[in-house]
Amino acid sequence: MPPPENTSQPRLATGCRWGAESKAGAEERVVLFPEGAIKLQGTGRQVLERCDGERTFAQIIAELQAQFGDADPAKIRADISQFLEQLRHKRIVDY
Q: Domain segments of the chain: what residues?
A: 15-94
The top-level CATH class assigned to 15-94 is mainly alpha
**Rounded CA separation 15/39 (Å):** 16
Distance, C-alpha 37 to centroid of its chain: 14
Check whether 81 has a pLDDT greater than 90. yes
Q: Which of 6-10, 35-39, 56-60, 85-89 bottoms out in mean pLDDT, i.e. has the lowest?
A: 35-39
DSSP per-residue letters across 18-82? EEEEEETTEEEEEEEETTEEE---HHHHHHHHH-BSSS-HHHHHHHHHHHTTTS-HHHHHHHHHH
pTM over 0.75: yes
